[in-house]
Structures are given as C-alpha cells and as structure tokens.
Amino acid sequence: MNTAVARDGLLVNVTGAVAAPIHIHATSSDQSDTTIHHVIKVASGAEVTLIETGQYGARSNVVLEVDVADGGRFHHIRVQDGNERHILTHIFGKIGAEAVFKSFTLTAGGQLTRNECVLQLLGDDASVSVAGACLGDGDFHHDDTVFITHDAVNCESRQVFKKVLRNGAVGVFQGKILVKAGAQKTDGYQISQSLLLDDDSQFLAKPELEIYADDVACSHGSTSGAIDAQALFYLRSRGVPEAKAVDLLTLSFVAEAIEEIEDSDLAQDILDHLTNTMSAR
C-alpha cells in the first residue's frame, strides 16, 4: 500500500561522515492520513545518524528504506508520541560488509502501533542492532515485528525490546533470526521482556530461530513479570513515594534497550524524555 500511495518522503544520499544528526520532525493535524516513504543511502565508509520525532498523522504509514554499503554506519533513533494515533512503520535495510546498522524506537503514546523491521546482512563482518522501549497505558496496542536474515560470514545481530504495560495495555513482540546455509560464525541475540503493572495487561511474544549453518551462536529469550516487590519495598522504606518508586524501577527495566544507542548524549536525551513523560503522567 505504501508503494502504491506514497508521494512524499526524503531521499538522503550520504557520501561522508556527517557530524550532526539529520533530524526529521513531522507535524500534522489529529485527523489526517499520511503515507510517507524515505530512502537513505549510505556510501562505503560513510556515517550518519537519523532522528525521527513528531507525529506524521492520525493514521500514518511510514517506510524507511536503508541501504548501507560496505564499511558504512547508520544510526537511527525514533520517538513516537501522541495519544489516539494509529502508526504503521516499516524499515527495510540491506547491510554490506563490515557495515553497521543500529535502530532504536521509544514509544510513549499512540493507540495502535506496529513497528516492523526487515534487515538483510549481505556482507561479511556486518553488525546490526534493533531495539525498542515502550510505555503502554489503557487503550494501547503495540507490536514490534523484526525479521533479520544472516546471509554472510561472521555477522552479529541484536534484538532488545522492553515493554511496560498497565491498565489493560497490550504488547506484542514477533522476532525472527534466519541464518542461511554458509552464514557461518553468526552471532544472533534476541531478548523481549515486559513489565506488567497490573493483572489486566498482557504481553504476547513469538521469538523464532531458523538456522541452516552449523557454526553459530544464537539465542533468544522472553519474560513477563511484575514489579520486584522487594525492590519496591526497599525504595518505599527509604521514603520514596510509591509512584516515584515505580517510575525508578521502570527506568531501570528499560535501561538495557536504551543502552543499545551508541551515542551516550543521545541515549541520555532519550532517558530524560522518558523521565519527563512519566512525570507528566
């Protein structure tokens, strides 16, 4: 549908090391339908950081097509806010030899969200990381779907997703690592975890490994649980109000996903934004 309908988007051709991040900030009315298709090409040895913020539309379909040539480096950070929004995003990436691809998404709003990421590691010694953290409250359905294909030797992939859900919110994770025949020395890691703050919320996980090589190290895990009662009691006994204590434990829970951001300053910005969002609620 995006291919058939999209008429707007950016074409970014990166030929060197871009010092400052490229920032895409979208604004729209709360009644609009938006279909966007961005294309990012990172040349051999080039490097760029792309930041996406704002709201594309009340109902949005956004594609990010990324081609990272040999030795290139692509960093992506996305912040999704806004209540009662329906968001469908898709990242399609091709990663060359010794190239790096990293994407992190923070979702702190929206009614229905599906973030989909399909990556192909096509060159030896490539590395990818796809991570996300979300806060869901009430009428909230959030789906992360990731499909990473290893089709080269000595490549690494990481999937790290954390969801905090309350008041009947629903979180979904579908993650797959496909290791093709001949993709030896593959290192694939996948973790999806949820923190359920009440008995009404739910987390649905479907981790998958499909491996056709015999010299690999691949793992996946998924957990759901409540706030650590002992940790909560410890903070309360030190005079921390219950709501503040829950926020502190929530930040600690999602920290692993935020740590996937390579730039420490940008990681701190995301942490500050998350802290302010929780304080406002």
The pLDDT of residue 57: 83
The pLDDT of residue 58: 86
The residues, ordered by sequence, that sit 6+ positions from 136 with a Cβ below 8 Å of its Cβ are: 107, 142, 163, 164, 165, 166, 169, 170, 171, 201
The residues, ordered by sequence, that sit 6+ positions from 238 with a Cβ below 8 Å of its Cβ are: none
| Pair 128, 159: CB distance under 8 Å | no
HSE, CB side, 13 Å, CA atoms: give it for residue 80: 29
Per-10-residue mean pLDDT, the chain, length 281:
92 96 87 92 98 90 97 97 87 98 94 96 98 94 97 98 96 97 96 95 95 95 92 93 92 94 94 88 74
Residue 23 domain-assigned (yes or no): yes
| Pair 134, 109: CB distance under 8 Å | no
Residue 240 domain-assigned (yes or no): no
Residue 138 domain-assigned (yes or no): yes
Residue 216 domain-assigned (yes or no): yes
Residue 26 domain-assigned (yes or no): yes
Place of tokens 């009340």: 58
The pLDDT of residue 64: 97
The pLDDT of residue 173: 97
| Pair 131, 160: CB distance under 8 Å | yes
Residue 241 domain-assigned (yes or no): no
Q: Quote the pTM value.
A: 0.94
Between CA 37 and CA 24 the distance in angstroms is: 13
Domain boundaries, position 196: 2-226
Residue 132 domain-assigned (yes or no): yes
Number of domains in the chain: 1
Nearest to 224 by CA among 244, 183, 261, 194: 194
Residue 281 domain-assigned (yes or no): no
